[in-house]
C-alpha cells in the first residue's frame, strides 16, 4: 500500500503490515511494574495533561476551538507525549509506535466534535464527543506477513513495484486531504505547528499533489497507468471527478481491454439535509495486455 499522508501511513503500518499485536518486549517490564496488563491499558490510565491539543483544539484554549472536550484533549496530550517519550527512550521501535498511534487516531476520531472532516467543529458538543477517550486494539490483518506499506507518491511506488492487481483510488476533486484531516495528521507527526483560522490548520509548506490539480491530474494518472507493471489495473473513481471518463477510459485502454461499472452510494454530507444525496462511483477494470510491461 502507499499514501503520502502520514496518518494513512500510520494506519496502514498498524493494520495491514501487522498480523497481530506487537510484543513490546522492552516496554512490558516498565508497564508491568505499574500494574498495567498491556501498553494500551497503561495509556488509558494516564491522567490528562494540558498541552498542545488542549490549548489548540479545546474550548479552554485561547482560540476556543471545540474539536474535543477539555478532558479528552488533555488525555490526547498525555497519551501522545507518553508514546513520544517511549520512542525517544528506545522502549518502542519498528511497528510498535505505529500500533499505538493507530489506536490513538481511532480513539480521538471517535470523540471528535466534527461532522466528518477536521475543517470545522460543531457548535455544541455531541453525545459521542463527550464520551471519555478510550484506546482499543487496532484490528490487524490476519495475513499481514509479507505486506509492505510505503509513504510516497503513487507514481514512484508503482514504477518500482510488480503486482497482480493494482488498485488505484485517486482524489476525485481539488480538496487536499492534508488540510481536511490536518488535526489527525498533526497528531501522528509529533510536532506542534502554529494553528491558524477557525479550523486550526497549520500553514502547509508541502507541495500540493498533482492528483488534486485539475490542470495536472489527468497527466498524473496517465503516467501512473503507463508505468504500472501489473496484470490488472483497477481504478475507483466517480462520474463527476476532475478527470473525465473519456480520459480515464482512454489511458486504460492503451494498456489493455477495459470495462467499467457504476455503483450508487450515499454521498458525503456534513448536514442531515444532505444525507440522502446520492453519488455515482465508477470502477474500471483493465486486463493488461501481456500481463504487464
How confident is the prediction along the chain (293 residues), in pLDDT tens digits per residue? 999 999 999 999 999 999 999 999 999 999 988 888 899 999 999 999 999 999 999 999 999 999 999 999 999 999 999 999 999 999 999 999 999 999 999 999 999 999 989 999 999 999 999 999 999 999 998 876 789 999 999 999 999 999 999 999 999 988 888 889 999 999 999 999 999 999 999 986 666 789 989 999 999 999 999 999 999 999 999 998 999 999 999 999 999 999 999 999 887 666 555 556 788 999 999 999 876 55
DSSP 178: H
| The 3-state secondary structure of 202-238, one letter per residue | ECCCCCCCHHHCCCCHHHHHHHHHHHCEEEEEEEEEE
Distance of CA 197 to the CA centre of its chain: 22
Alpha-carbon gap, residue 101 to 67, rounded angstroms:
19
Q: In the numeric block, which cell numbers belong to residue 89?
A: 527512550
Going by C-alpha positions, the residue among 185, 14, 38 that lies closest to residue 97 is 14
Q: Residue 290: which of 259, 260, 261, 254 has the closest Cα?
A: 254
Amino acid at each position: 500500500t502507499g499514501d503520502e499522508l502520514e496518518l494513512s501511513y500510520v494506519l496502514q503500518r498498524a493494520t495491514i503490515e501487522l498480523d497481530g499485536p506487537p510484543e513490546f518486549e522492552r516496554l512490558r517490564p516498565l508497564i508491568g511494574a505499574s500494574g498495567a496488563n498491556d501498553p494500551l491499558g497503561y495509556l488509558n490510565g494516564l491522567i490528562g495533561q494540558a498541552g498542545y491539543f488542549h490549548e489548540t483544539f479545546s474550548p479552554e484554549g485561547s482560540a476556543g476551538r471545540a474539536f474535543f472536550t477539555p478532558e479528552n484533549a488533555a488525555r490526547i496530550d498525555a497519551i501522545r507525549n507518553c508514546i513520544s517519550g517511549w520512542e525517544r527512550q528506545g522502549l518502542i521501535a519498528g511497528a510498535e509506535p505505529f500500533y499505538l498511534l493507530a489506536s490513538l487516531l481511532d480513539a480521538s476520531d471517535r470523540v471528535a466534535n466534527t461532522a466528518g472532516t477536521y475543517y470545522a467543529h460543531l457548535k455544541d458538543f455531541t453525545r459521542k464527543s463527550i464520551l471519555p477517550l478510550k484506546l482499543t486494539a487496532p484490528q490487524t490483518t490476519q495475513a499481514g506477513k509479507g505486506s509492505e506499506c510505503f509513504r510516497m507518491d503513487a507514481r514512484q511506488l508503482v514504477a518500482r513495484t510488480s503486482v497482480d492487481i493494482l488498485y488505484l483510488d485517486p482524489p476525485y476533486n481539488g480538496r487536499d486531504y492534508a488540510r481536511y484531516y490536518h488535526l489527525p495528521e498533526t497528531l501522528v507527526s509529533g510536532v506542534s505547528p502554529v494553528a491558524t483560522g477557525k479550523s486550526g490548520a497549520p500553514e502547509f509548506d508541502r507541495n500540493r499533489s498533482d492528483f488534486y490539480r485539475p490542470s495536472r491530474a489527468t497527466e498524473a494518472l496517465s503516467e501512473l497507468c503507463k508505468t504500472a507493471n501489473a496484470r490488472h489495473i483497477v481504478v475507483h473513481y466517480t462520474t463527476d471527478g476532475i478527470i473525465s471518463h473519456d480520459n480515464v477510459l482512454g489511458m486504460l485502454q492503451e494498456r489493455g481491454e477495459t470495462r467499467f461499472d457504476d455503483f450508487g452510494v450515499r454521498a458525503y454530507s456534513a448536514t442531515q439535509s444532505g444525507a440522502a444525496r446520492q453519488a455515482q462511483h465508477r470502477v474500471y477494470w483493465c486486463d493488461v495486455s501481456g500481463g504487464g510491461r
